[in-house]
Structure 1
Amino acid sequence: MAVTLGIVGFGIMGERLLRAALAHDQAVIRPVAVWDPSPAAAARLAEVAPGLPMLDSPAAVIAACEALYVASPPSSHLDHAGAAFAAGRAAFLEKPLAADLAAARSFVAAAEASGARAAVNFPMASSPAVAQLGAWRAGLGAPRALGIRAEFATWPRGWQQGAAGWLAKRAEGGFTREVLSHFLFLTRRQLGPLQLLERDATFPPGDGAETAVRARLLAGGVPVTVEGRVGGTDRDEANEWRLDGAAGSIRLRDWSLAERLEADGAFRPAPDALPNERMRPMVLRGQLDKLAALTRGQPQDLATLREALEVQEVVEAILGL
């Protein structure tokens, strides 16, 4: 039987996962209900999935599904996930776990103690490009250093302007939480536990999100540098995760391009590399397969609550908030 999927929060991420679920094998996972308080969200749902109900409360969605995707703003994540756990449902949360770090710590401890079925949507857990990096690691030698860089023409990015009400604010938004967290998760998976050594963050007057960050960390003992800023590129965004080893270098560029440093000093992509807009459906398909496995109590390697909490702790420390 297919796992039934409910979605709370029908913004950009909720719509993106719903479209992936509609395109997925309906014998594996099947969307059944959505909730969002916005009339505009209801109108979009009617266009994207005619016949799929927009229910009148999160509780109604939880009652209708076996797995709940929590794609609402961060301040509401824990309430929705906690309600799902109380009803015996699995929960798949967007990051960050919460707007309050202490609440996130308490939530993770309680969820672990109860054996709740939970995971966090860090898509690099299902990325073919990340799998390619892993295959190349064998020939890289001992890791020596890692660099993470992200630049944005504006923040929020052009396609996120509809959520600027919270993404542009210091309390819940900013590119460190939204973007750099993905690369810190990848670093944790590839190298080991993260330890922050130095940090600096620049904020505009008022309550706006950061405009620049710099940090030095250790990951499993390997030196890591992190740089992010708004400005410096005319593209919507540019990012790079580069690992240098004793016998070479590899990198992930612009989310989905796995590249290896060749003998002539140039980085070249894997033969099957795809731009992010073409790889994203493959990644989300993998995430949905794993969410179905999580719901059934089967092995899978989605990001755990503990991993997401470790990343959030480093992110908040970098921001210094």
Structure 2
Amino acid sequence: MAIRLGVVGFGIMGERLLRAALAPDQTAVRPVAVWDPSPSAAARLAEIAPELPMLDSPRAVIAACEVLYIASPPSSHLEHAGAAFAAGRAAFLEKPLAANLAAARDFVAAAEAGEARAAVNFPMASSPAVAQLSAWRAGIGAPRALTLRADFAKWPRGWQQDAASWLAKRAEGGFTREVLSHFLFLTRRQLGPLVLLERDATFPAGDGSEIAVQARLTAGGVPVDLAGQVGGTDRDESNEWRLEGETGSIRLRDWSFAEKRDADGIYRPAPDALPNERMRPMVLRDQLSKLAALTRGEPQNLATLREALEVQEVVEAILGG
């Protein structure tokens, strides 16, 4: 039987997950209710799923569901998750866990002690491209170095402008939290614990989010070089996660292209590589299947609260927090 899914926060991420949950080939979860205080969110929901109610409070959504997806701004994540746990529900949080790192630490410790059913939406846990990278790992020998790059024409990205009120601000937003965190999660999963050695972040005047970051880390002892900037490309964004091994090199490019370096030095994609726009629905479908398993108390490999906290610790340190 499909797990009843509630959604709190119907911005871009809430809409994406809901659309995936409404897809005909998705049977693991059944959306039952949404809450968002914005009139425009209610209007979008009425267009996308007129049969799905926009309820008048997060508590009402929690009462209706078995698992709560929390896609509201970071400052409200822990409040909604705590209410879900108190009602005996599972919770699926967007990252970062919270706007306050100390609060995130306390939350994770309490959730672990209470054996709460919870996970964080790092989609690379279900990415076919990441699965391909993992399959290639044995062929490149022991890892020697990792390079991580992310560039943006502007921040927030064009499709995120409706959320600029917080995404463009230093307190909760910025590309290090929103984008580089995904690649740090991937790095942690592939190589091991993250240790920050050096960092630098550049901010504009006022309360705007970062415009450039650089950092040196290790992941399971492997050197990692990280950099990101706004204005470094004329595309909406470009990114690369590149792992050098003793006998070869593999990379993830632009979120979804798994590529391996051939003998001629050219990186070539996997035969079934897809652009992110086409891969995303597949990834979210698998995330939802795993979310149903989490809710039922079954094994799955979604990002844990502890993993998300480890990533957030590094991100905030890079930003100077």
Residues 84-103 of structure 1 aligned to structure 2 (within 5 Å): 84-103=84-103
Give the counterpart letter for 1:233 in structure 2: T
Give the counterpart letter for 2:231 in structure 1: G
2:267 equivalent in structure 1 = 267
1:265-312, Cα deviation, whole Å (9 max, x unpaired): 100000000000000000000100000000000000000000000000
Residues 297-312 of structure 1 aligned to structure 2 (within 5 Å): 297-312=297-312
Inter-partner Cα distance in structure 2 for 1:26 and 1:309: 30
1:18 equivalent in structure 2 = 18
Give the counterpart letter for 2:140 in structure 1: L
1:198 equivalent in structure 2 = 198
1:163-206, Cα deviation, whole Å (9 max, x unpaired): 00000000000000000000000000000000000000000000
Inter-partner Cα distance in structure 2 for 1:105 and 1:120: 15
Gaps of 5+ in 2: none
Give the counterpart letter for 1:176 in structure 2: T
1:224 equivalent in structure 2 = 224
Shift of 1:232: 1.8
Query: Would the alpha carbon gap of residues 174 and 137 (structure 1) be closer, same or farther in structure 2, given more than 3 Å must change?
Result: same
Give the counterpart letter for 1:91 in structure 2: A
Q: Which runs of 4+ in 1 moved over 6 A?
A: none
Instruction: Give secondary structure in 1 for the equivalent of 2:139.
Output: coil
1:288 equivalent in structure 2 = 288
CA contact (8 A) 1:2 1:26 kept: no
CA RMSD of aligned residues (A): 0.6
2:51 matched to 1:33? Answer: no
Instruction: Give % identity.
Output: 84
Inter-partner Cα distance in structure 1 for 2:68 and 2:215: 35
How many residues align? The count is: 321
1:74-118, Cα deviation, whole Å (9 max, x unpaired): 000000000000000000000000000000000000000000000
Residues 65-144 of structure 1 aligned to structure 2 (within 5 Å): 65-144=65-144
Inter-partner Cα distance in structure 1 for 2:281 and 2:135: 22
| TM value normalised by structure 2 | 0.99
Inter-partner Cα distance in structure 2 for 1:232 and 1:29: 40
Inter-partner Cα distance in structure 1 for 2:197 and 2:127: 29
Inter-partner Cα distance in structure 2 for 1:231 and 1:248: 31
Instruction: Give secondary structure in 2 for the equivalent of 1:54.
Output: coil
1:10-64, Cα deviation, whole Å (9 max, x unpaired): 0000000000000055642100000000000000000010110000000000000
Inter-partner Cα distance in structure 2 for 1:79 and 1:234: 39
Query: Would the alpha carbon gap of residues 191 and 179 (structure 1) be closer, same or farther in structure 2, given more than 3 Å must change?
Result: same
| TM value normalised by structure 1 | 0.99
Instruction: Give secondary structure in 1 for the equivalent of 2:169.
Output: coil
CA contact (8 A) 1:24 1:285 kept: no
2:215 equivalent in structure 1 = 215
